[in-house]
Amino acid sequence: MTDDDGWVELREPDLDEEQTGPVPVVAVVGRPNVGKSTLVNRIIGRRQAVVEDVPGVTRDRVPYDAQWAGRQFTVVDTGGWEPDAKDRAAAIAAQAETAVATADVVLFVVDAVVGSTDVDEAAVRMLRRSAKPVILVANKADNAAVEVEATSLWSLGLGEPFAVSALHGRGSGELLDAIMEALPEAPKIVEDRPRGPRRVALVGRPNVGKSSLLNRFSGEERAVVDSVAGTTVDPVDSLVRIGGETWHLVDTAGLRKRVGKASGTEYYASLRTASAIEAAEVAVVLLDASEPISEQDQRILSMVTETGRALVIAFNKWDLVDGDRRYYLDKEIERELRRIPWAIRLNLSAMTGRAVDKLAPALRKALASWETRVPTAQLNSWLTALVQATPHPVRGGRAPKILFATQAGTCPPRFVLFTTAPLDAGYQRFVERKLREEFGFEGSPVEISVRPRK
């Protein structure tokens, strides 16, 4: 595929965007012993073990990742109200309220052998007040006889009862189909990205040393040879060996084939930078370490974070940095790069070759962070401890509560916090900082959104 000088011309990258919407939530509610845990286990396919019921310990709002027919959603086992709670009606109300607050669809589970009880009817009244879709599950329909019996649950007024046996699996496919029908927006499971070199954008304002760095990896003469070649305006990508690995460098035509310094207006250059970043998975933003960090540098950095790409900042021309400059640069970094402390930083010199061998490991690390998926159970046990240790500050006598969190996607990692009310911006930043402390994400932006109960 490669010609003998190592370059390969690639077509415009086929962008396979991995943007997925938020993962919808399905809450499972019902009396104790109707088989909620068993049903949740059935839905998640026992890929994760549902927490055993420990007397006195609520398993309220334990979320699990689930998938069906190539789509993903979250199942929340809302636990059971205490069978002998003093104020059972209040307990039912509280549980139903939580379910309705956080769920896109509610599975209301009834024991088909027992039939509906007055407790069930009380719960139904709560659920029907909400606008959320409710699917009635008649569980323990282990055989045809109970299945027939289950039709009497129409009387609950929640529509057709889905007769299932959570224990044996009977009817569970139909139930899952019904759930998916109620969740048309459930995002598709993103296939593992196609094998192939990772896509990198090498960007930075004119004269920071992009061509020089590219030449480092490609041999000195190549750019010269290429500079006489045909058109220079078409976006052309290249495959380049860096650190023993082949990388797909996006839109290097301008860097390789440039004659002289003129590469169009700043407006044009900026469009081109934006489209290169868009097409890449990770961006290397080159800054000139010998000069102050400029507004143009900042704009390019913002393009990367706003596009949600992994980020490596390379301070080039490090050979020109003396003690004095180092002092001021440190101050500039502190002031100008405060909003992106998570970016991976390298001090290198395209001219002398200093630290250029650090680029490939930095890219790999940033991409690994970018693709990280935190299992929902792990995320929530961390979050529970965090909000216990540092609850949201009280505002006007009330403090918003975080009910649970899920990771809605990767590339970059995106999290959704389900809460009782909007969070203070400061507290949300605190959660993000702690999330990074716990799970890393070095070199990758992280998005956190809050879904307050409606």
* Positions at the binding site for GTP: 30-37, 77-81, 139-142, 204-211, 251-255, 316-319
Estimate to the nearest angstrom the gap between the alpha carbon of 124 and the chain centroid. 35
- Interface with ligand GDP, residue 38, by CB under 6 A: yes
Sign for the pseudo-dihedral over CA of 28, 31, 32, 35? negative
Instruction: Return the number of the residue (192 or 324) whose C-beta is nearest ligand GDP.
Output: 324
User: Does 210 participate in binding ligand GDP (rule CB under 6 A)?
Assistant: yes
Q: What is the CA radius of gyration of the chain?
A: 28
CB of 39 to ligand GDP, least distance (A): 7
Site string for ligand GDP, 228-257 (x = CB under 6 A): ---------------------------x--
Q: Is 392 in the site for ligand GDP (CB under 6 A)?
A: no
DSSP one-letter string for 306-356: HHT-EEEEEEE-GGG--HHHHHHHHHHHHHHSTT-TTSEEEE--TTT-TTG
Distance CA 427, CA 324 (A): 38
| Beta carbon nearer to ligand GDP, 170 or 414 | 170
Task: Give the whole-angstrom CA distance, residue 60 versus residue 237.
Answer: 52
Q: Is 80 in the site for ligand GDP (CB under 6 A)?
A: yes
Find, among 441, 440, 406, 401, the residue nearest to 424 by Cα: 401
Minimal distance, residue 423 CB to ligand GDP, in Å: 31
State which of positions 311-330 bind ligand GDP (CB under 6 A).
316-317, 319-320
Smallest distance, ligand GDP to C-beta of residue 350, A: 4
Residue 376 binding ligand GDP, by CB under 6 A:
no
Nearest-angstrom CA–CA distance, 202 and 206: 12
Compute the least distance from the CB of residue 448 to ligand GDP, in Å.
31
Q: Is 37 in the site for ligand GDP (CB under 6 A)?
A: yes
Q: How would you classify the pairing of strands 414-419 and 402-409?
A: antiparallel
Do residues 312 and 443 lie in contact, with contact meaning Cβ atoms separated by under 8 Å? yes
Which amino acid appears at position 148 of this protein?
A: V
Closest CA to 47 of 68, 24, 25: 68
Q: What is the end-to-end Cα distance of the chain in Å, rounded?
A: 55
* Closest distance of CB 99 from ligand GDP, Å: 14
> What gap in Å lies between CA 340 and CA 301, rounded to an integer?
9
Choice between 167 and 448, CB closer to ligand GDP: 167
Binding pattern for the stretch 102-121 against ligand GDP, x by CB under 6 A and - elsewhere? --------------------
Selected binder of ligand GDP within 44, 135, 150, 166 (CB under 6 A): 166
Instruction: Report the residue from 10, 27, 34, 126 that binds ligand GDP according to the rule CB under 6 A.
Output: 34
Task: Tell the smallest beta-carbon distance from residue 181 to ligand GDP (Å).
Answer: 22
Distances in Å between the Cα of 50 and the Cα atoms of 7, 75, 98 are 52, 11, 19
Among 22, 36, 305, 408, binds ligand GDP (CB under 6 A): 36
Return the residues of window 324-363 that contact ligand GDP according to CB under 6 A. Answer: 349-351
Residue pointed to by tokens 């088989």: 35
Q: Is 24 in the site for ligand GDP (CB under 6 A)?
A: no
- Where b means 16+ CB within 10 Å and e means fewer, 100-128 reads bbbbbbbbbbbbbeeebeebbeebbebbe
67-75, 160-168, 175-183, 233-241 -> range binding ligand GDP (CB under 6 A):
160-168
Among residues 58 and 246, whose Cβ is nearest to ligand GDP? 58
Nearer to ligand GDP, 165 or 305 (CB): 165
∠ CA 274-278-279, nearest 5°, is: 120
Minimum CB distance to ligand GDP, residue 351 (Å): 3
Q: In whole angstroms, what is the distance from residue 88 CA to residue 78 CA?
A: 16
Q: Is 142 in the site for ligand GDP (CB under 6 A)?
A: yes
Number of residues that bind ligand GDP (CB under 6 A): 31
CB atoms inside a 10 Å sphere around CB 164: 28
Distance of alpha carbon 233 from alpha carbon 190, whole angstroms: 34
Interface positions with ligand GDP (CB under 6 A) = 30, 32-38, 80, 139-140, 142, 165-167, 204, 206-212, 255, 316-317, 319-320, 349-351
